[in-house]
Amino acid sequence: MKQLSLDNLRTFVSIIELGGYSKAGELLGRSQPAISLQIKKLENQLGKKLFDKVGQRYQANADGQWLFDQAKQMLAINDDIFRRLEDGQLRGRLRLGIPGEFATRLLPSIVGEFNVRYPDVSLDVTSALSRQLLNANNRKDFDLILALVNPEDTIEGELLIEDELVWVGDAKQPLNSSKLSLVLAPDGCVYRSRVIQQLKQQTNAWKISYTNADLYGLIAAIKQGLGVTVLAKSSVPPELDILKNKRLPALGKIKICLFNQDTQHPQVSKTLSDYIRSRIT
């Protein structure tokens, strides 16, 4: 009787969830050729192609999408068996501090899967500006912090990536020809400070038309034509467009760092760190 390899199925599911072979390899600790070989073996066993090449990327076709749903159920049953029978299963409370734009972009793809695999872990999430999260008086309130740090600043955490800062807005909304309108987070925001610093070196007129600490509030304002904003490229939500315009000055880069604090549950913290790292790097 034929039997599917759960290892191959986990690789297959990871490719779709993470958006590519290389990111799946990083999460699973395998090289890209090894990942490709696993998918080839799975396709040969099933006698079906599971991915179509669209541009430079591979996307699951109709058979792949169907298998994806079935594979997730099989893996969930497998993981639940081990989770229930393991003596050292993860449990505890983890306090995560994360900037709002990354909470919007990352958490939906992390929290659901993390909760299914580790139902005995209570995840407390606080969204705030990086400056607030890293404040000496606040840091003790978190076990794990994801934060933005200026390139020139010394960090004591783990550097995940040095990301590009990009202008974002609604491509359907034209830029004001006389004065650039900005939609920004409040004072203390790394993006806001960088934008103002760069624009003060330009001769073009500009104004802050709207301020809101919540990313969804900024998105709504941008969709209403109130202006444009700035984000780290890896945090741009699908509702917004990266803008290229000669009026918009280059903003340089920003460090995205992970700060693993002293915690009573180091294994839980390490596991969530791995999830975050795999989706950013």
Regarding whether 202 and 77 lie in a shared domain, the answer is: no
CATH number for 267 = 3.40.190.290
Task: Identify whether residues 48 and 129 lie together within a single domain.
Answer: no
Of the three residues 85, 118, 153, the one that is the final residue of a domain is: 85
Residues 192, 281: one domain? yes
The encoded tokens of residue 151 equal 């390139």
DSSP notation for 190-241: HHHHHHHHHHTTSSS-EEEEEE-SSHHHHHHHHHTTS-BEEEEGGG--TTSE
Please state, rounded to an integer, the average pLDDT across all residues of the chain.
87
Query: Which of 85, 111, 140 is a domain's end point?
Result: 85
Q: Are residues 119 and 191 in the same domain?
A: yes
What one-letter code names the amino acid at 185?
Answer: A
Question: With a threshold of 0.95, does the pTM exceed it?
Answer: no
* 126 & 250 share domain: yes
Per-residue pLDDT at 131 exceeds 60: yes
CB 242 within 8 A of CB 230: no
Q: Look at residue 75 and tell me if it is in a domain.
A: yes
Domain identity same for 18 and 101:
no
Last residue of a domain, one of 34, 58, 85: 85
- Tell me how far apart the alpha carbons of residues 143 and 39 are, in angstroms, rounded to a whole number: 37
Residue type (1 letter), 4: L
CA of residue 92 relative to chain centroid, distance: 24
What range does the domain containing 70 cover?
A: 6-85
Neighbours of 215 (CB within 10 A): 23
Tally of structural domains, the chain: 2
| Angle subtended at Cα 192 by Cα 147 and Cα 144, rounded to the nearest 5 degrees | 10
List, for residues 179-207, the tens digit of each pLDDT value: 899 999 999 899 999 999 999 988 889 99
Over residues 208-246, the pLDDT tens digits come to 999 998 899 999 999 999 999 999 998 998 899 999 888
Q: Residue 91 falls within a domain, yes or no?
A: no
Task: Give the tens place of pLDDT for each residue, 29-47.
Answer: 788 888 889 999 999 999 9
Q: Do 74 and 134 belong to one domain?
A: no
Kindly state whether residues 66 and 111 are assigned to the same domain. no
Q: How far apart are CA 112 and CA 129, in angstroms?
A: 24
CATH code, domain with 13: 1.10.10.10
SS3 content of the chain, % helix, strand, coil (to 5): 45, 25, 35
Domain for residue 171, yes or no? yes
Residue 169 reports pLDDT greater than 80: yes
90 is a domain residue: no
- Within this chain, do residues 143 and 59 fall inside the same structural domain, yes or no? no
Q: Are 52 and 157 within one domain?
A: no
Residue 150, pLDDT > 80, answer yes
